[in-house]
Structure 1
Amino acid sequence: MSDHVTTHQAQEDARNESLLIYVDGEMKPRAKAMVSVYDSGFMLGDGVWEGLRLYDGRWAFVDEHLDRLFEAAKAIDLDIGMTRDQVFAALEQTCAANDMHTDVHARLMVTRGVKRLPFQHPSLSVSGPTMVIIMEHSKPKAPRPIRLATVPHQRGLPMTQDPKLNSHSKLNCILACIAAEKAGADEALMLDVHGFVNTTNACNFFIVRKGQVWTSTGDYCMNGITRQKVIDLCRANDIEVFERNYSLVDTYGADEAFLTGTFGAQSPVSEIDGRVIGSGQLGPVTERIRGLYKALIQQETAK
């Protein structure tokens, strides 16, 4: 599709061609920043990650992101090998090495490290964890609103792969994204195991009906930090918000819909499965939430 957009589209920035990338404590030029083909992340998707944004020299909600990183690592029995302070110092080191100050997106990745043999057992990872931090000058574009298509791929039960886990194993979401693109949409709307509307392949999902903000129960979606901030902002500003089960019928009849994520904050949705949502443009409730979130970021990153 010539006009395909994503929730992670950024303005072109030539500075990103000469980035320095953190690889296990060393700063490597972009072209030389590599990990072993025996690395657990490359070989098996065995690792966890976080995406963070820098505004005016400060990392937004960094404590929540580090909480989620260390909880995810504990869940998969992965010893990061660094304290929280050391991980934060690595972020700051990478930021300073690239002379970055604002409108920066970081992807912090930790895998189980290099394996002795190309098999899945964790005991074969003998070198300790691998940590990589990629930072890019990354100012979101303002593309047209996102078009979604419902796909057969589900956000599953926690005994398969818990959807709350921010792991490197993203194949389910990638397949959903492919299915959506084949259907002529930008991103996939995924249902939970009971058929209720849940999330997209990359972001958390909200609708607005008669001034009320609805999102899923949270049982089958990523425990998004931006998602929770939106819920908290609604509660603090007299916007009715519900975490509930709701169907595609409820969704098609919504007045507004939007996505949330660390990169794009709140991205409006124009249509779902060919049905135009509301006016098909940024709606007034979404616009108000955007303003509240922007003010929260300014408060969070104030010197």
Structure 2
Amino acid sequence: MSRIVYVNGTYLPDEQATISIFDRGFLFADGVYEVTSVLDGKLIDFDGHATRLQRSLSELDMNTPVTMETLLEINRELVARNDITDGLVYLQITRGAAADRDFAFPDPDTPPTIVLFTQNKPGLADSPAAKTGIKVISIEDQRWGRRDIKTVQLLYPSMGKMMAKAAGADDAWMVEDGAVTEGTSNNAYIVKGNTIITRQLSHDILHGITRAAVLRFAREAQMKVEERAFTVEEAKAADEAFVTSASSFVMPVVEMDDAPIGTGTPGPVAARLREIYLEESRKTAI
């Protein structure tokens, strides 16, 4: 059975989905996106993703093609039509298709392009990697400066994933001026003593929706949180480390640049935060 996707107001089989070759997302990566997790057939943290989407669009002076209420209906319809129990809903909005290729933005009345599709991920919350941890390498952060906007400019993060794969690792942590910014598709954390350390919000990192929830849960659980930059050396000397994202939730990191972090096995803080996050997020899923 074909996967049903959504393109500019229409639900249709994925093999029939098309967009213009003049779409600015295709020509200039002039677009934004969001990924929302689905557990037990319900959307996790939808309001957070919707709010960040609106911010990304605003920062790029891009029109919003649908209301957030309608967007929720589309998400739910796709989950239902594709019979998704555990998985992801991907959303992308671009500045649309102008009459021809031009670096200048098209007329503001140009309709944005909106595309959504699902990915079926049975057992998404039960990833074996959560029990073994993942390995990362450090690479230079060569992305543009506005990493707080969730754009589709993902070439360098994709290259980082391949650098990690070539090195026998699972992911890469990007480094700028000696300090870790974030992973290729996640926010990065270390734990030293009883303190969780993660880079503060700025233009340097994505304002992660899972990040916000995990830090809130950590503070509610009386865990100490320090938001500041940390160095590669600090990471290698940490007691444990982990990453957060909408698709991996809380994932322990056990090795960096071939050096074990802590005991080289998932630590108790990451394990507890993953447990809390999944439990609390399921309660508020819609």
Task: In structure 1, list runs of 5 or more residues that go unmatched.
Answer: 1-16
What is the Cα deviation at residue 212 of structure 1?
A: 1.5
Residue in 2 that maps onto 1:7: none
Contact kept, 8 Å, 1:112 with 1:128, in 2: the verdict is: yes
Q: CA deviation at 1:275?
A: 0.5
Which residue matches 1:113? 96
Q: How many residues align?
A: 280
Superposed CA deviations along residues 257-297 of structure 1, whole A, max 9, x for unmatched, are: 11100011011112101101122222111111111112211
- Number of the residue aligned with 2:44: 60
Match of 2:141 among 131, 153, 161: 153
| Structure 1 residue 178, shift from structure 2 partner | 3.1
| Unmatched segments (≥5 aa) in structure 2 | none
Describe the SS at the equivalent of 1:18. coil
Contact 1:208 1:214 in 2 (8 A): yes
- Aligned partners of 2:44 and 2:282 also within 8 Å: no
Aligned 1:78-227 pairs, distance under 5 A: 78-100=62-84, 102-123=85-106, 127-139=110-122, 140=124, 141-143=127-129, 144-154=132-142, 160-192=144-176, 194-219=177-202, 220-227=204-211
Q: Does the 8 Å contact 1:115/1:125 carry over to 2? A: no
Contact 1:208 1:256 in 2 (8 A): yes
Alignment pair present for 1:287 and 2:256: no
Task: Provide the alpha-carbon RMSD of the alignment.
Answer: 1.9
1:11-50 → structure 2 map (5 Å cutoff)? 18-50=2-34
Q: How far apart, CA to CA, are the structure 1 residues paired with 2:67 and 2:205?
A: 28
Which residue type is aligned with residue 145 of structure 1? Answer: G
Q: Which residue identity lines up with residue 254 of structure 1 in the other structure?
A: A
Instruction: State the partner residue of 1:74.
Output: 58
The offset of 1:239, in angstroms, is 0.9
SS of 2:97 mapped into structure 1:
coil
SS of 1:257's equivalent? strand
Which residue type is aligned with residue 99 of structure 1? Answer: D
Give 1:127 deviation, angstroms. Answer: 4.3
2:281 maps to 297
Give the conservation status (yes or no) of the 8 Å contact 1:116–1:126.
Answer: no
Superposition deviation, residue 124 in structure 1 = 6.1
Q: Determine helix, strand or coil for the equivalent of 1:53.
A: strand
1:10 matched residue in structure 2:
none
Higher mean alpha-carbon deviation, 223-232 vs 146-155, is at 146-155
Change (3 A) 1:56 1:117: same
- Provide the C-alpha distance between the structure 2 equivalents of 1:186 and 1:121, rounded to a whole number of angstroms: 38
